[in-house]
Amino acid sequence: MKKIISTILLAAAVLNFSGCQKFMDVNTNQDAPDYVDAGLYLPGVLSAYQGFYWDIRALGPLTQMMGTNSYTNFANNYYTAGSDAGGEMWRMTYWLQGMNLENMINQAVEAEQWTLAGIGYAIKAFSWDCIAKYHADAPVLQAYEPGRLAHDYDYEYTLMEKSREWAETAIGYLEKEDNSDYGTYLTKGDLAYHGDKSKWIKFAHSVIVTDLAALSNKKDFAEKYADDFFEHAALAIDGNGSNFAVERGGGGADAQFSAYNNFWGTTRQNLTNVYWQSDYIVQIMTGTVPQYDETTGDKVLAPHAAPRTKWELNPNQIICDTTKVAGHYDPRAAAKLSTVDGQYYDKMTDKEAIMDWTYFGSGFTGASGPSGTAPNLYGFRAATPTTTVEGSGRWIFRDDAPYILLTASEIKFEVAEVLFKMGRKGEALAAFKDGVALDMEFTGNYLNPGKPKETGKDDDDNPIYAVGGDLPGGSAIAKATYNEMAAEYLAGPYVNGITEADLTLSHIMMQKYVALWPWGALEAWTDLRKYHYDIIYTGDYPTKGNGWDVSSVNQKWDTDPTKVYKGFYLAPAQVENRKSAYNSRNEGSPCYRVRPRYNSEYMWNLNSLKALKPIAGDADNYQCSIPWFAYPGDIPASL
């Protein structure tokens, strides 16, 4: 993999959005500026969210959204403390945003620039919510105290409380009258909402919603958190026009800086042939979740072997099925997933052909999956980048695609989940349907259809098309065709055909998983851990000997009505294509958190890490320490 590391410097943001002369005028020392206008921090602070996508290299394998031959340690749920791999969000929050964001907030408050201060607090709230869900425990109360050489760790509940507090502060500032003259600081430098206060307010409410949604399995959720959850949900992002996404300029190889291109784009090549769509996402999005023999764990072979029917299919498909009838096919597969079919761009409006495309998912640590070899995420199978994958890319794997960070569909699914748990199934069903419709629209918004490129005629005078179509390629389904198939799907049995009596938690959470693929891997991982990976255990939480042993994990069968993620099995589950034990130092447990960044915490703050409970931060199995949000009560003092 070609790794292009780019540091987001304030100076670059200043030059790009304001001009060199103004930068020089406001400082006494032109080489080391002692003061920067608060608004000039904003583009750099927002651009730092590329670190979120960097760490999906770890989260994609952890959630079974992606397979990889690069971050295989995360795919195997075990990794040591000797690497900065998976540490970009830590670096992003503490350093790239860090004091730049603190300075922006403090200077804006001092200057009574309430809009900018509110934006700053909203960003801070979101970043710390992400840190809490990713790393669980981290220094927050002492994070920016000057002169400190070590920082005490705070437990996750403190990080989550501070996140909600900062979001509330953001709302307060954003709702204040602001007569400041921001010039182009907001219209150009705000790469998310271009200074639209109403959208930032919705976003701040959404941060509180998604933070509280992680606590929905807490025993005291209804009495302690539910009122706040619904209050903020009513004011949160409610349409795709308000999604939180950070724009990228693109430009490909001609871009002034590599970071102008999306980290997942074809120019930076960070996903090419080292990350693939997983067998699990392919199964649920194509209606091919297999049926397992519960006595052996083997898949039940179908009478007539074929790529999509090699095994008997689970009779309870949650997302779609293989029936070639309008409404049974989910067109998001053609938009989100890669296939070697359709590569000539000559069937983009042919619904029958599109429904007949075949998709393959990868294994945990290689492209080869249980049914076939997964193509690369740009759409085609290629050993190295070639003309079939060059250009701007497709869907959100494009050079100019924004960094998607929070969407309206995510909020709707969280509302549906909480309503369902509180017994309000009619309202939950309505929120569920809204969530699917919003993701269907969101997915279509990023289609950039390619077009066929004719290179000649065959002997029968039929056109011959070039593989990859007319560069720079793009999505293999036309927007109008996608929209037509989307309307059919929404009207079909898997959305509008579901009644209040039919609705299960699986419908909500698995549709949310599809909506989050793969940009929302952190939120998907939060959900998987909240439901303890559908592990069978007694009491409040699983432990060694009560859910797993050193070589296997005991997971619910798909026939268990309490199993949330149908078809999902961890690597050590005793089913076909799994049965692979974790590293013995995990003591059988799956991963529950990502270790903090090695180069700061394990080298300079180790004593604080050692003090953590119930598993110390320097322990071999610290990554298996269950975070606070996944306990129904308080953190146990010991295990």
* Across 482-505, average pLDDT: 98
300 token code pair: 């039940």
SS3 at position 220: coil
Contact between residue 500 and residue 341 where contact means Cβ atoms under 8 Å apart: no
pLDDT in tens, 159-177: 999 999 999 999 999 999 9
Q: What is the mean pLDDT of residues 563-591?
A: 96
- Binning pLDDT at 50, 70 and 90, where does residue 34 land? low
For residue 267, what pLDDT is reported? 86
Coil, strand or helix: which one is 66? strand
For residue 145, the model assigns a pLDDT of: 93
Could you tell me which of 362, 333, 334, 318 has the C-alpha nearest to residue 65? 362
Predicted local confidence at residue 308, as pLDDT: 59
In the prediction, which pLDDT does 12 show?
39
Q: Say what the pLDDT of residue 303 is.
A: 81
| Percentage of the chain exceeding pLDDT 90 | 81
- Number of Cβ within 10 Å of residue 180's Cβ equals 17
With tokens 């959305």, the residue in question is 495
Q: Is the pTM of this model over 0.85?
A: yes
Whether the pLDDT of residue 472 is over 70: the answer is: no
Distances (CA, A) of 443 to 429, 449, 635: 21, 13, 39
CB atoms within 10 A of CB 91: 20
In terms of Cβ atoms closer than 10 Å to its own Cβ (0-12, 13-18, 19+), residue 548 is buried
Higher pLDDT, 101 or 13: 101
Asked if residue 253 has pLDDT above 60, the reply is yes
pLDDT of residue 2: 36
Nearest to 438 by CA among 628, 288, 236, 173: 236
Helix boundaries (H) for 254-324: 279-286
Q: Which residues, 6+ apart, have CB-to-CB distance to 399 below 8 Å?
A: 248, 250, 251, 252, 255, 261, 262, 265, 266, 267, 268, 392, 393
How confident is the prediction for the chain on average, in pLDDT? 91
pLDDT over 50 (residue 493): yes
Classify strands 547-548 and 543-544 as parallel, antiparallel or unpaired.
parallel
* DSSP helix/strand/coil, 608: helix
Q: Residue 392 has what pLDDT?
A: 66
Strand, helix or coil at 632?
Answer: coil
Read off the pLDDT of each residue in 329-340 and give the average, rounded to a whole number: 95
The model's pLDDT over 536-570, given as tens digits with 9 standing for 90+, comes to: 999 999 999 999 999 999 999 999 999 999 999 99
Q: What is the predicted pLDDT for the residue at 310?
A: 84
Helices 505-516 + 425-445 axis angle, to 10 = 20
Mean pLDDT of 49-72: 97
Does pLDDT of 458 surpass 80?
yes
Task: Please tell me the predicted confidence (pLDDT) of residue 305.
Answer: 56
pLDDT tens digit sequence for 209-231: 999 999 999 999 999 999 999 99
User: What pLDDT score does 378 carry?
Assistant: 84
Average pLDDT estimate for 115-127: 98
Model confidence at 16, in pLDDT bands (50, 70, 90)?
very low
Residue 189 has pLDDT above 50, yes or no: yes
Better-predicted residue by pLDDT, 469 or 183: 183
**Least confident window among 143-157, 211-225, 293-307:** 293-307
Q: Which residue has the tokens 């929404």?
A: 490
Asked whether 190 and 244 are in contact (CB, 8 A), the reply is: no
Is the pLDDT confidence value at 390 over 60?
no
Mean pLDDT score, 518-526: 98
pLDDT value at position 10?
38
pLDDT at 620 over 90: yes
Do residues 281 and 15 touch, judged by C-beta distance below 8 A? no
Residue linked to tokens 């920016």: 144
**What digits encode the pLDDT tens for the residues 21-30?**
333 334 444 4
Tell me the two tokens of residue 108: 């804006």
Name the least confident of 209-213, 461-465, 476-480, 625-629.
461-465
155 close to 628: Cβ distance less than 8 angstroms: yes
pLDDT exceeds 90 at position 133: yes
pLDDT of res. 240:
98
146 C-beta neighbours (distance < 10 Å), count:
4
Distances in Å between the alpha carbon of 193 and those of 113, 361, 565?
Answer: 17, 36, 34
**HSE toward the beta carbon, residue 3, CA cutoff 13 A:** 7
